[in-house]
Chain A
């Protein structure tokens, strides 16, 4: 249930944007929302891809697809017609190996890289790689495939900055400035200025060597040498991804709950976006508790229940029922009051044009049902 200007804004976002990035803290339904946005756009005729980089493998469950992986899986036509949605999950080690296979045609050089311990650690063990590979994947989805819209799911808030910042870091890491210090020198005929500039690198190598062990520096030099010409390609991808995130055809959607704690996190997140000179196009408040009992004051009595049951044949214990009803009302009212406070703050933050409100489902509907509910609720005028 959303204000009309917010619905119009969402409508426009889904029909014109090329990239939608869902950000938010953990457990607010970000992955489900990302899938819902892609499906909604597909139902408006667009050919979409949805990519989750969350290592927790949740999207498959929400989509009812048996297993998501690096390869795109098309969602059933009856769910997405007349458009289409390809869903995929990033599996970083595999994705990096495959990318290297594509970029390094020479098998001997490729094997040397795969055998390098630094590469193995980067590819297989380390958390940060997901962000790097997501950037890479984003690049290839947008550049090499012909999707109208790519919807990107991101890791929970605390890592969102890491993610948004990843293209810049990648570009910096793979820039000549850094990597050339670690490359074996083939050419000693550099000019004077060049050699003076290299002093910073020499000091860095000495310091890093002291701190990290000489061994490591050797390994690093091997790695950098084996990676060779790939740096330029990686750097280029980092720069392109960075441009992509800043393109007017890209939009950020902040997904949150209405609980004041979640709203405070969403507020932090929108500040982070602002610091990076980015802006949230919409806020989706998920699982908002509402209850008509929110302002109920009269306490429900056994007599009220007796009257309401008049004419209904049942051996129900009226006192127990009355207590159950009053208890349920009190819990639901308290949740609704809590969410009303959070939602008011969110409305201030987002304004009429940006806030989409999705009520908590009171019935059992399953994962696919939850996605349909999400889509319906976002587009339902309040």
Chain B
């Protein structure tokens, strides 16, 4: 069956997205993974890390306040408070935001004594805790420091929280610089802003599910990240489901729903509704992305009751183009 122009374009977009993701993993120091809650950012982050390892790199997965969970990697272990190997060739850390401010201050300020004073003094402690953007700055600061330390071996892949959080992280350096016109922290914020907006060093990979709100939020997020001069990478559409038996008429299913196969027919009809909605959302996303030539990589909905590690491995293979 000859493919239509649309299908050709979609295939070429998928190939471009794969090539871009590989290029990003190989050449960037920081890869920010973001999108609406529940779209599978953590599993996509893990899949990207596995793909990076397949490319001969040694990636570092940076999670923020991740809840206790089983490892995202086959035969791996969950990330802890310090950088350690989570699975062969993959490093990781689960950064607690409450620790981030202290760690960041200690590694940034000219003297450890000043840093410790900041945390021992009851007034400045309260001030730091209460001031907006200090903790955001500390988090991106930690990412930048880890990227400087490990960036040569592989990217730091950051599993960001919901979209609002991604935006406040990106804006934190500018906010700090506006207030602090001099000093070490101003200088540091300027350098971090430079890194975050440098397309040679950083890329933002945005993730959606083929549903109304996640797609809308992804498009909104990309527009705002672009305004903030964040370098945007390709889009990952996770959890795509294909319609089973698309050529079977709805009327046939309606008939079956009143017979002995009622349950199966109902399942097929429900899946059909789901798949058609997904196809519609993918079309909408594709059309919106075509405007500026952004590539789209589609990852399949994996319905086997896989452990997260196996799921990440499946998706990593897809990112690599191995069906």
On A, residues with C-beta under 8 Å from B are 25-28, 54-58, 61, 117-118, 120-122, 125-130, 132, 155-159, 169-170, 172-173, 177-178, 181, 200-201, 203-204, 207-208, 210-216, 219, 257, 261-262, 264-265, 268, 291-293, 296, 300, 304-305, 307-309, 312, 314, 316-317, 320-321, 323-335, 337-338, 362-364
Query: Is the CB–CB distance between A208 and B133 below 8 Å?
Result: no
Q: Supply 11 A–B pairs (Cβ within 8 Å), ascending by A.
A: A122-B132, A126-B132, A127-B133, A127-B168, A159-B162, A159-B164, A200-B122, A211-B115, A211-B118, A215-B182, A323-B245
B2 interface hit (Cβ, 8 Å): no
Residues of A within 8 A of B263 (CB): 291-293, 296, 329
Chain A CB within 10 Å, residue with most, of B114, B136, B214, B264 = B264
Inter-chain pairs besides A207-B121, A328-B264, 8 sampled, C-beta below 8 Å: A125-B178, A211-B109, A212-B185, A215-B181, A215-B183, A216-B183, A293-B264, A325-B264
- Which of A117, A296, A307, A335 is in CB contact (< 8 Å) with B178? A117
A57, A155, A331: most-surrounded residue (chain B CB, <10 A): A331
Q: Contacts A328-B267, A329-B264 given; indicate if A316 touches B217 (C-beta within 8 A).
A: no
| Inter-subunit contact A304/B261 (CB<8 Å) | yes
> For residue B64, which residues in chain A have a CB less than 8 angstroms away from its CB?
158
- The residue among A155, A212, A323, A328 with the most chain B CB atoms within 10 A of its own CB is A328
Q: Is B12 among interface residues, defined by CB-CB distance under 8 A?
A: no
B126-166 vs A, CB cutoff 8 Å, 1 = contact: the mask equals 11011111001000000000000000000000000111110
Contact between chains at A121 and B39 (CB < 8 Å): no
B3 sits at the interface (CB 8 A):
no
Nearest B residue to A363, CB-CB:
B273
Residue pair A127, B167 in contact (C-beta under 8 Å): yes
The interface bits of chain B over 271-304 (1 if a CB of A lies within 8 angstroms of the residue's CB, else 0) are 1110001000000000000000000000000011
Do A325 and B179 have beta carbons less than 8 Å apart?
no
- Minimum CB distance partner of A159 in chain B: B165
CB nearest neighbor in B for A130: B164
The answer to whether B65 has its CB under 8 Å from any CB of chain A is yes
In the complex, which of the residues A25, A156, A207 contacts B118, with contact meaning CB atoms closer than 8 Å?
Answer: A207
Q: How far apart are the CA atoms of A216 and B245 in the complex, in Å?
A: 66
Q: Which of B49-57, B193-201, B247-255 has 4 or more CB atoms under 8 Å from chain A?
A: B247-255
Is the pair A121, B248 in contact by a Cβ cutoff of 8 Å? no
Q: Are A309 and B180 in contact (CB under 8 A)?
A: no
Contact B252 A129 (CB under 8 A): no
Determine the main DSSP class of B at the interface with A.
helix
Contacts of B265 in A (CB 8 A): 325
Contact A173 to B126, CB < 8 A, known contacts A261-B69, A293-B267, A305-B261: yes
A362 touches B270 (CB 8 A): yes
Using a CB–CB cutoff of 8 Å, the interface residues on chain B facing chain A are 36-39, 64-65, 67-69, 105, 109-110, 114-115, 117-118, 121-124, 126-127, 129-133, 136, 161-165, 167-168, 171-172, 174-175, 178-186, 212-214, 216-217, 220, 241, 244-245, 247-249, 251-252, 255-256, 259-261, 263-273, 277, 303-305
Set of chain B residues within 8 Å of A213, measured between Cβ atoms: 180-183, 185-186
Residue in B126, B174, B303 whose CB lies within 8 Å of A178 = B126
Which of A122, A130, A181, A204 neighbours the largest number of chain B CB atoms within 10 Å of its CB?
A: A204
Q: How far is the CB of B59 from chain A (nearest CB, A)?
A: 22
A211 in contact with B248 given A120-B178, A129-B132, A264-B68 (CB within 8 Å): no
- On whether the beta carbons of B37 and A329 are closer than 8 Å, the reply is no
Check A203 against B121 for contact (C-beta < 8 Å): yes
Chain A residues within an 8 Å CB radius of B114: 207, 210-211
| Contact in complex: B162, A308 (CB < 8 Å) | no
A289 CA / B285 CA spacing, docked (Å): 26
| Cβ-closest 8 pairs across A and B | A26-B37, A27-B38, A324-B245, A127-B168, A128-B132, A213-B183, A173-B130, A204-B123
A55 CA to B37 CA, complexed, in Å = 13
Provide the bound-state CA to CA distance between A219 and B185, in Å.
16
Q: Chain A residues near B244 (CB, 8 Å)?
A: 323-324, 327-328
**How far does the alpha carbon of A379 sit from the alpha carbon of B110 in the complex, in Å?**
61
Residues of the A chain whose Cβ atoms lie less than 8 Å from the Cβ of B136? 126-127
Are the CB atoms of B124 and A207 closer together than 8 Å? Answer: yes
- Contact status of A200 and B118, CB under 8 A, knowing A126-B133, A257-B38, A362-B266: no
Q: Which of A26, A215, A327 contacts B162 (CB 8 A)?
A: A26
B309 vs chain A, min Cβ distance (A): 13
Q: Which residues of A contact B182 (CB under 8 A)?
A: 213-215
Contact assessment for B270 and A200 in the assembled complex, using a CB-CB cutoff below 8 Å: no
